[in-house]
Amino acid sequence: MQAELETVETRAAEVEASLAEIRPEWEEVVEQEKEEKRLMDNAQTRLGALHAKQGRISRFSSRAERDSYLRAEIKGLKAAEAAGVQSTSAIEQEMASIREKIEDVQRRAEESREQVQEKGNMLTQLGEEIVQKNAKKAKLVEQRKELWREDTKYEQLVGSAKDELHATQRALAGMMDRDTGSGLRAVDRITEQLGLEGVYGPLYRLFEIPDKKYSTAIEQTAGNSLFHVVVDTDATAQKVLEVLQREKSGRVTFMPLNRLKPKLVPFPQAPDALPLIDKLQFDPLHRRAFEQVFGKTAVCENLQVAAAYVRSHGLNTITLEGDKVDRKGALTGGYHDVRRSRIETIRAVKHWTQKHETDSKILAEIKAQDAQLEQEITKLTGEIQVLTSKRAQAQAMRAGLADEAYALDAEETRFTARIEQLERAKAEQEADVQDMKLRRETYEAEMKTPLAAGLTQREIDEMEELGREADTRKKALLDVGKRKTELGTRKNMLEIELSESLKRKRDELRTKIDSLAHVDTDDLESTGADLAAKTQELEALADSITTLQDRIAETEAEHDKITSEMNKLMAQVEKLQTQQIEDSRGISRQQKSTERYLTKRQVLLTRKDECNTKIRDLGVLPEEAYEKYVNERIDKLVKRLHNSKENLKKFAHVNKKAFEQYTNFTKQREQFIKRREDLDESANSIQELIESLDHQKDEAIERTFKQVSKNFEEVFEKLVPAGRGRLIMQKRLDMDQDDDDDDDDIGQQSSIDNYTGVSIKVSFNSKVDEGLRIQQLSGGQKSLVALATVFAIQKCDPAPFYLFDEIDANLDAQYRTAVASMIHELSSGAQFITTTFRPEMLVRADKFYGVLFNNQKISSIRSITREEAQEFVEQETAAQ
């Protein structure tokens, strides 16, 4: 591009040199042409005057008649000569004005070129600042990406810890009764509300078990005491209890430290009987509470040793498996499900609580850092946008100034051409004036001579000489004109090449080179920003590789550890599977035995049903029939049954259940009559209720329509002061009049049933016209009517807030202003949230929010000022 510019400048210099050579010669030829034309015109003028004089000799009969004609001609020539002089003066004044304009254009062009240079320097500075800020922003963006990865990681950890915590809390809640669980939750809440420092919490939160093999013994010893709440004094417990009783929030057992006075017992100094309290870690402040629960219990290897120490020392003893021997003689033990262990559940709750709190704290720090980085990035983005806007403005101004300089150069060229045109016009005018002056002088000289019969010999000779001179001058003028045409053509071609091609090409190349030099393109900026971003990314990747390598080493070690544990667990699983097979076989045997008993039971139930059926067939029996034959032998009963059947055969034609059936049917008839009366009464009540509800419904609908219609007229009048709007209830046509006689037995229909819908009639320019229906309106008018309907309903049945999306897009300016005023008026009783690209809504709004996009096309919302909102709307309007 630089080489091309040098070539263009070299050619421009050559053309300018050629023009410098041609212009003097062309100007000389122009002057020569003027002189030749002047001499030819003089000769032709004098020759014409002689010919005219020769013609007048025969035309006039006397000198007086001739002189009268010449005086008239002289007067006309003087007037024309004066007009010519005046025209020449006007041309000179215009030339002087144009020369002043040329000087002003040259000055302005020089100023524009200087400003172009200033804007170029400004573009260079702005470009450097943008590259620096983009590099800084890229670094911050990379840091934010790393924080996002950490944020995602810890959000997953916090979510997992929260789920595990809730699961363990639910499991722990399932290990206590509902009242105790509600009470413990209420104690935590009340302690926080009242700010009580003397509530230390449930006992299970106040200790740790260094050696897990004692967990079962500790759990079985503590029992429900694990959920007792430790407090400093009974006064503190009383405060909490009062709130619990007032709120009915469950039941809790308190352990006031000032009231606890545990009795210490001597423990044997033997390795097979260890004090259980020594296997706990707790704050010495809470020692009395732990002595109260664990202070009289020792841990022994087995029940025999435990029973011996109970007898010899009067202690409560317990084994590691949880079998207890009480000093009062009770022996408690058996299977203990470790999956339902309270201690293990409590330990899990503590672990996941601590894990959740730690990860949540780290996550909060990460989010705080991310928010700070986001603010810094947003700030840098804003600064970059400001600089980019300034650069774009400077670039546009620079381009405008360059165009202005080019236009001024073209204007100078036009003015120069105009000067040349005026010079030619002036020369022609001066020639015309000179011609008129010669003719006038000839006429004046002729007036001084007498009227002769013909031209004198001298005048005849002069005519011949002037004729030859005119021909010679004409030929010379043609030669000079040809030469002038050749030089003018060459001069014009060089000037066109210089102004229309070379200068424009040179200016374009200079602009492009300046653009590259001043970093005016986005490519160079993007290259700098990309380089900084890639450098940051490379450093981040190097750090990530180091971190991942460390994590791989840790993961491999953990993998080996987990593999070893899995092998152990697999061995245990195989052992348990073998045990499960044995248990399944035992269960199968039990199922077969159970099935046999169930089959026998089903047979007996079937026989029982058969007997009950036979008893029902006998009908109603007296009570003594169920007791009279209880102790009789079966064979005697069978014999008596046979005799009774033989006797009954005599009465086979008699309905044995007639009396019983009559009694039952009579009772059923009375019941059905009573039920019918109740149903009739209920039906009447229901019908009355339906009529009452229909009446209330009709009144509510008509009252609502009247209120909405009234509000619609008021709102529409405010939105369109020159117009009028109405809501009209449409009714059904009386098409069934012929069937009135047949409908006399049918109840009167509700008046609302005669309504078929609601229509709208509006007029935008008159309060007396019938108005147009909604189908006859334009899109903008329909939008305004819809808004008026919404506002009318809002006044009748207000909602807490309204969300409008570009409701003023199709409205005219005056309607947008009216809608904005109406929303502002209604905002006293409700909240209105609107989106708009129009300025009228901004005048009445109270709060403004803008949706911003960063370079990653991520949107964010922030509060902005009214001026910022108006500037945004103006930019959108200008863009459209």
Cβ atoms of 837 and 810 within 8 Å: the answer is no
Q: Are residues 564 and 471 in the same domain?
A: no
The phi, psi pair for 559, rounded to 5°, reads -60, -45
Look at residue 715 and tell me if it is in a domain: yes
Q: Are residues 575 and 603 in the same domain?
A: yes
Average pLDDT over residues 307-320: 84
The 10s digit of each residue's pLDDT in 512-534 is 665 555 444 444 444 554 555 56
pLDDT value at residue 503 = 65
Q: How many CA atoms lie within 13 A of 459 on its CB side?
A: 17
Look at residue 626 and tell me if it is in a domain: no
pLDDT value at residue 747 = 41
Q: Which residues contact 77 (CB under 8 A, 6 or more apart)?
A: 436, 437, 439, 440, 443
- Helix (H) or strand (E) run with residue 661 in it: helix 658-719
Residue 500 token pair:
């229309």
Q: Which residues contact 123 (CB under 8 A, 6 or more apart)?
A: 391, 394, 395, 398, 518, 519, 520
CA R_g for the chain: 60
Residue 115 token pair:
């400003």
Neighbours of 833 (CB within 10 A): 12
Q: Are residues 49 and 135 in the same domain?
A: yes
Q: Which residues contact 455 (CB under 8 A, 6 or more apart)?
A: 50, 53, 54, 57, 463
- Identify the weakest region by mean pLDDT among 582-591, 639-648, 828-837: 639-648
Q: How many CA atoms lie within 13 A of 469 on its CB side?
A: 18
Cβ atoms of 112 and 405 within 8 Å: the answer is yes
Cβ atoms of 397 and 161 within 8 Å: the answer is no
Give yes or no for residue 128 having a pLDDT over 50: yes
pLDDT value at residue 316 = 86
pLDDT value at residue 701 = 84
Cα separation, 395 vs 519, in Å, equals 10
Cα separation, 324 vs 326, in Å, equals 6
The 10s digit of each residue's pLDDT in 451-510 is 665 566 676 777 777 777 777 777 877 877 787 777 777 777 776 766 666 666 666 666
pLDDT value at residue 679 = 92
Give yes or no for residue 339 having a pLDDT over 70: no
Average pLDDT over residues 643-672: 79
Percent of the chain with pLDDT over 90: 2
Cα separation, 790 vs 783, in Å, equals 11
Look at residue 537 and tell me if it is in a domain: yes
Among candidate residues 411, 414, 420, 410, the one with its CA nearest the CA of residue 95:
420
Percent of the chain with pLDDT over 70: 85
Question: How far apart, in Å, are the Cα atoms of 380 and each of 155, 377, 466, 673, 812?
Answer: 28, 5, 91, 90, 40
Q: Are residues 20 and 103 in the same domain?
A: yes
Q: Which residues contact 839 (CB under 8 A, 6 or more apart)?
A: 870, 873, 874, 877
Domain edge (last residue) among 494, 517, 540: 517
747 torsion bin: left (phi>0), alpha (psi -120 to 50), beta (else): beta
pLDDT value at residue 684 = 92
Cα separation, 324 vs 320, in Å, equals 10
Cα separation, 60 vs 33, in Å, equals 39
pLDDT value at residue 58 = 58
Amino acid identity of residue 213, one-letter, is K
pLDDT value at residue 440 = 79
Amino acid identity of residue 43, one-letter, is A
Work out the mean pLDDT of the chain and round it to a whole number: 80
Residue 622 token pair:
């007296």
Average pLDDT over residues 527-555: 70
What does 69-98 look like in DSSP terms, one character per residue?
HHHHHHHHHHHHHHHHHHHHHHHHHHHHHH
Domain edge (last residue) among 571, 588, 617: 617
833 torsion bin: left (phi>0), alpha (psi -120 to 50), beta (else): beta
DSSP 8-state code for residue 834: E
The 10s digit of each residue's pLDDT in 703-741 is 888 888 898 888 888 888 888 888 888 776 544 444 444
Q: Are residues 831 and 844 in the same domain?
A: yes
Look at residue 381 and tell me if it is in a domain: no
Give the β-pairing of 324-325 and 316-319. Answer: antiparallel
- Helix (H) or strand (E) run with residue 667 in it: helix 658-719
Question: How far apart, in Å, are the Cα atoms of 314 and each of 35, 219, 289?
Answer: 154, 21, 21
Look at residue 443 and tell me if it is in a domain: yes
Q: How confident is the model at residue 256 (pLDDT cuts 50, 70, 90)?
A: very high
Q: Are residues 71 and 181 in the same domain?
A: no
pLDDT value at residue 230 = 92
Cβ atoms of 716 and 760 within 8 Å: the answer is no
SS (H, E, C) 479-520: HHHHHHHHHHHHHHHHHHHHHHHHHHHHHHHHHHHHHHHCCC
CB-based burial of residue 296 (10 Å sphere; 0-12 exposed, 13-18 middle, 19+ buried)?
buried
Cα separation, 212 vs 279, in Å, equals 10
Give yes or no for residue 606 having a pLDDT over 80: yes
Query: Helices in 174-314 by DSSP H: which ranges?
Result: 178-194, 215-222, 234-247, 287-294, 303-313
Query: Helices in 60-174 by DSSP H: which ranges?
Result: 63-173
**What is the Cα 356 distance to its own chain's centre?**
32
Cα separation, 164 vs 145, in Å, equals 29
CATH number at residue 773: 3.40.50.300
Q: Are residues 512 and 563 in the same domain?
A: no
pLDDT value at residue 507 = 65
Cα separation, 236 vs 196, in Å, equals 8
Q: Pick the residue with more confidence: 500 or 807?
A: 807
SS (H, E, C) 507-570: HHHHHHHHHHHCCCCHHHHHHHHHHHHHHHHHHHHHHHHHHHHHHHHHHHHHHHHHHHHHHHHH
pLDDT value at residue 676 = 92
Question: How far apart, in Å, are the Cα atoms of 662 and each of 617, 659, 717?
Answer: 17, 5, 82
Q: Are residues 253 and 395 in the same domain?
A: no
The phi, psi pair for 273, rounded to 5°, reads -145, 95
Cβ atoms of 139 and 376 within 8 Å: the answer is no
Q: Are residues 108 and 197 in the same domain?
A: no
Cα separation, 418 vs 453, in Å, equals 52
Buried b (16+ CB within 10 A) or exposed e, 608-642: eeeeeeeeeeeeeeeeeeeeeeeeeeeeeeeeeee
- What is the torsional sign of CA 796, 801, 805, 811? positive
Average pLDDT over residues 423-433: 77
Average pLDDT over residues 181-186: 85
Give yes or no for residue 578 having a pLDDT over 60: yes
Cβ atoms of 454 and 56 within 8 Å: the answer is no
Cα separation, 750 vs 818, in Å, equals 40
Give yes or no for residue 742 having a pLDDT over 60: no
CATH number at residue 274: 3.30.70.1620
- Identify the weakest region by mean pLDDT among 65-79, 212-226, 356-370: 65-79
Amino acid identity of residue 85, one-letter, is V
Q: What angle do CA 646, 651, 652 make, to 5 degrees?
A: 90
Residue 555 token pair:
């993961």
Cβ atoms of 280 and 207 within 8 Å: the answer is yes
Residue 79 token pair:
């007037």
Q: Are residues 536 and 513 in the same domain?
A: no
Asked whether the whole model's pTM tops 0.85, one would answer no
Q: What is the residue whose two structure tokens read 């200790």?
A: 207
Give yes or no for residue 748 having a pLDDT over 50: no
pLDDT value at residue 624 = 65
pLDDT value at residue 417 = 78
Q: What is the residue whose two structure tokens read 């030749």?
A: 36
Look at residue 739 and tell me if it is in a domain: no
314 torsion bin: left (phi>0), alpha (psi -120 to 50), beta (else): left
Look at residue 313 and tell me if it is in a domain: yes
Provide the number of structural domains found in the chain: 4
Q: Are residues 408 and 289 in the same domain?
A: no
Q: Are residues 472 and 610 in the same domain?
A: no
Cα separation, 752 vs 22, in Å, equals 102
Amino acid identity of residue 339, one-letter, is R
Domain edge (last residue) among 492, 517, 542: 517
Write out the residue range of the structural domain in which residue 291 sits.
167-364
Look at residue 864 and tell me if it is in a domain: yes
